[in-house]
Amino acid sequence: MTLFTPMLRASPLTEIFSDENTLQGMLDFEAALAQACAQCGVIPASAVNAISGQCQATKLNSEALAQAAAGAGNLAIPLVKQLTANVKQQDEQAARYVHWGATSQDVIDTGLVLQLRTAFDASELLLGQLIDVLAAQVQQNRHSVMPGRTWMQHALPITFGLKLAGTLDALLRWQQRLYELKPRVLVLQFGGAAGTLASLKDQGIPVAQVLANILALNPSDTPWHSQRDRLIEAATWFSGVSSTLGKFANDFSLLMQTEVAEVGEPVAEGRGGSSTMPHKRNPVSCAAILTATMRIPGMMATLYASQNQQHERALGGWQAEWETLPQLVMLTGGVMQTTLELLTGMQVNTAKMRTNLDITHGLIMAESVTLALAKFIGKQAAHHLVEQLCHRALDENQPLATLLAQHPDVSAHLSTTQIEHLLDPQHAIGSNDHFINQVLARATQQTRRVK
């Protein structure tokens, strides 16, 4: 369904999982297998070039391969058949040694791991760009005071910079997790028919070690044909990143509501319009991000269900991964790319943020008055008094400052100037700068380490 690719999967990660690259990953395994077997004396060295020379996806008939896979049960069987036939046309003897000692799952799983490695590299680059842009926006908006919202209601003032810093903080953790998981996930799959490499006799382990070196993958302590925790860890990383960015997009879209209007998506010709209403400016980037993040949990459920694999080689569970994991990765790539564009060109309306702070006539700052008054009359009494005045401010549509200044139990302890100061949101952002400084410092530290 390529019509939706620009909307939902427009990132470098999509091409990584193209049909051609899927086949090429499997062929890279076959070429490396021939080389490893030759180095260990299992097959003649003369067979390597003939086999490797045909390990190019463009030399396969992908349509015929796909049709044959329906009957064979997987892509590797017809791939090996076509590869063998192509090698045979060049060197009949070399064709005897294609796919020596391996099983179909070795080919498919290792090919997938090679694709995941490329996807991790592309994701690392995208994530680094997201972190850089987000850090700049945090710094720029660190003093943009706005209403904090809990239970969808005004709570206490925060800054837009702190709100963005929360997303940055999470992305920095996902960046760290990526460094940690790659050695565990980027592992060779090579076990032969039942995970014993019996067909290679005493050369099974030497061939596996050389094969891992050629492909620049870590060797595995045991074949993992039916132990799929590595792929779940990879999927969880992509799903987690998309969830973090989905939370950001959800908040951003709420802040774009007409009545709120504190932020806006980048402005461009034809962007966010309506087919019937000329005034509309829809949060189309947020919609694309949320579309993906709504689909990904279902994909994760499939991958978790597929962990239940029978004995040494699976029936159904393994096969369920083939489309699900790449789709999840591609959707996450789209989320990352779209978020990057959103962050780069987003609009921030600080004037509207300030206006929205004043909607409740000072009620958002009631807590600061309570705490100041509590020093004189106690916490419970101060809370009860300020709460009553808040209710009056709402009922009578009066500024809270006026009612506070007029009440003798307040004016006896707090002057009009003090009340105005306490009700100024700019003076009520607590440890805002400390939290922002911590996150920005860690972003700088991690960025230097990456570069």
* Spatial CB neighbours of 57, under 8 Å, sequence gap ≥ 6: 20, 21, 23, 24, 27
Q: Is residue 219 part of a domain?
A: yes
Structural domain for 135, as ranges: 4-352
Pairing relation of β-strands 153-159 and 145-150? antiparallel
Burial of 421 (C-beta count, 10 Å sphere; 0-12/13-18/19+) = middle
Q: DSSP state, 267?
A: P
SS3 of residue 348 by DSSP: strand
CATH code of residue 382: 1.10.40.30
Q: What is the model's pLDDT at position 4?
A: 86
Instruction: Report d(CA 247, CA 30) in Å as an integer.
Output: 42
User: Could you say which of 318, 352, 386 is where a domain stops?
Assistant: 352
Are 340 and 387 within one domain? no
Rounded CA-CA distance 253/251 in Å is 6
Examine the domain organization and report whether 341 and 366 are in the same domain. Answer: no
For residue 436, is it within any domain? no
Q: Which one of 297, 324, 352 terminates a domain?
A: 352
In a domain, 438, yes or no: no
Pick from 173, 127, 164: nearest CA to 436:
164
Q: Which residue, chain included where needed, has tokens 């702070």?
A: 357
280 and 303 part of one domain? yes
Same domain, 107 and 245: yes
Total-model pTM: 0.92
8 A C-beta contact, residue 211 and residue 188: yes
336 within some domain:
yes
Q: What is the pLDDT of residue 269?
A: 66
- 437 inside domain: no
Do 339 and 389 fall into the same domain?
Answer: no
Tokens of 214: 């050629």
Is there a single domain that holds both residue 407 and residue 348? Answer: no
pLDDT reported for residue 273:
53
Report the alpha-carbon angle 255-257-261, nearest 5. 65
Confirm whether 443 is domain-assigned: no
The pairing of beta strand 263-264 with beta strand 347-348 = antiparallel
Q: What is the CATH number of the domain that holds 301?
A: 1.20.200.10
Same domain, 9 and 64: yes
Question: Could you tell me if 216 and 321 lie in one domain?
Answer: yes
**Pair 306, 385 in one domain:** no
| In-domain check, residue 138 | yes
What residues are labeled active site?
Answer: 274, 313
Strand intervals (E) in 298-399: 347-348
pLDDT at 397: 87
CA 357 to chain CA centroid, Å, is: 33
Running along the chain, 451 residues long, what does each successive block of 10 average in pLDDT?
85 94 98 98 97 97 95 96 96 96 97 98 97 97 95 93 98 96 97 94 96 97 95 97 98 96 84 52 92 96 94 91 96 97 96 92 87 93 93 89 92 91 86 95 86 60
pLDDT of residue 365: 85
Specify which residues 159 forms β-bridges with.
Answer: 145
Contact criterion met (CB below 8 Å) for 439 and 447: no
Query: Would you put residue 35 in left (φ > 0), alpha (ψ -120 to 50) or beta?
Result: alpha
Give the residue from 143, 135, 144, 141 showing the smallest Cα distance to 167: 135
Nearest to 106 by CA among 189, 194, 203, 223: 189
Q: How far apart are CA 199 and CA 269, in angstroms?
A: 63
Name the H helices within 186-283: 204-215, 229-255
- CA-to-CA separations, 240 to 141, 191, 323, in angstroms, rounded: 26, 31, 19
φ, ψ of residue 156 to 5 degrees: the values are -125, 160
**pLDDT value at position 29?**
98
Q: What token pair was written down for 107?
A: 């080919």
277-312 burial by CB neighbour count: b if 16+ within 10 A, else e?
A: eeeebebbbbbbbbbbbeebeebbebbeebeebeee
Backbone angles phi, psi at 432, to 5 degrees: -50, -55
State the Cα–Cα distance between residues 71 and 77, nearest whole angstrom.
10
Question: Does residue 308 sit in the same domain as residue 405?
Answer: no
Kind and range of the H or E element at 95? none
- End position of a domain, from candidates 352, 374, 404: 352
Q: Answer yes or no: are the C-beta atoms of 48 and 112 closer than 8 Å.
A: no
What whole-number distance in Å separates Cα of residue 254 and Cα of residue 12? 29
CA neighbours closer than 13 Å in the CB half-sphere of residue 179: 10
pLDDT at residue number 125: 96
Judge if 126 and 176 occupy the same domain: yes
Shared domain for 346 and 370, answered yes or no, is: no
Number of independent structural domains in the chain: 2
Question: Phi and psi for 282 in degrees, rounded to 5?
Answer: -80, 150
56 lies in some domain:
yes
Amino acid code (one letter) for 27: L
pLDDT at 280: 55
